[in-house]
C-alpha cells in the first residue's frame, strides 16, 4: 500500500495512458473504416450518400457518391434511396455530419445505414480514390 501512495504519479500516468489507448475503441461508434466501406460498396452494392454542402462535394468526394446535404436529408432521402433495406453509407468531411445523417436515416426507417468513421479525410488518408464534379 505504501508503494501506491509513494508512487501515485506513476499510477496516475499508467491509468491515463491506458485510457488513451482505449479511447479510439470506445468512441468509434460503429462507424466504418475505409476498407470495410469498399467491401460494402462492392459486395452489397451500398449507396454512398455524401451529406456535405454542394461546394464541398464539388471539390472532392468518393467516386460514385450522391450529394444530399444534411439539411435536405429528411425531405429527399426517400427519392435517392427508394428501398429502405438497401445498404446506405453516409459520408462527410470528418465524420460528424455523416453520423448525424445515419441517425436521421435510421429514424426514417432505413435499417442498413452506416457512417464512414473519419469521413473523407480518413478515405483520402487510406489512399482511396476520389473525384471532382
* pLDDT, tens only, 22-44: 655 554 455 899 999 999 999 99
Q: Does domain 34-131 have CATH number 3.90.25.10?
A: no
List of residues 6+ apart from 91 with CB closer than 8 A: 48, 49, 50, 51, 52, 61, 62, 65, 98, 115, 116, 119, 120, 123
Residue 52: active-site member: no
Q: Which of 40, 68, 92, 99 is catalytic?
A: 92
Task: Give me the residue label for grid cell 455530419.
Answer: 97
Q: What integer pLDDT is reported at residue 28 of this predicted model? A: 47
- What global pTM score does this model have? 0.77
Residue 129 clears pLDDT 70, i.e. is over it: yes
Q: Are 89 and 40 in contact (CB under 8 A)?
A: yes
Domain range summary for the chain, segments of one domain joined by +? 1-29, 34-131
When comparing pLDDT for 13 and 91, which is higher? 91
Q: What percent of the chain has pLDDT over 70?
A: 93
Mean pLDDT value of segment 110-130 = 95
Amino acid at each position: 500500500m505504501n508503494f501506491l501512495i509513494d508512487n501515485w504519479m506513476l499510477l496516475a500516468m499508467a491509468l491515463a495512458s491506458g485510457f488513451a489507448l482505449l479511447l479510439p475503441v470506445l468512441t468509434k461508434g460503429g462507424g466504418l473504416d475505409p476498407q470495410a466501406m469498399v467491401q460494402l460498396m462492392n459486395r452489397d452494392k451500398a449507396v454512398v450518400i455524401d451529406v456535405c454542402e454542394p461546394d464541398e462535394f464539388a471539390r472532392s468526394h468518393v467516386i460514385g457518391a450522391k450529394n444530399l446535404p444534411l439539411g435536405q436529408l429528411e425531405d429527399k432521402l426517400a427519392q435517392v434511396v427508394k428501398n429502405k433495406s438497401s445498404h446506405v453509407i453516409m459520408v462527410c468531411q470528418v465524420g460528424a455530419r455523416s453520423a448525424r445523417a445515419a441517425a436521421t436515416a435510421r429514424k426514417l426507417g432505413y435499417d442498413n445505414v452506416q457512417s464512414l468513421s473519419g469521413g473523407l479525410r480518413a478515405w483520402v488518408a487510406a489512399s482511396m480514390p476520389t473525384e471532382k464534379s
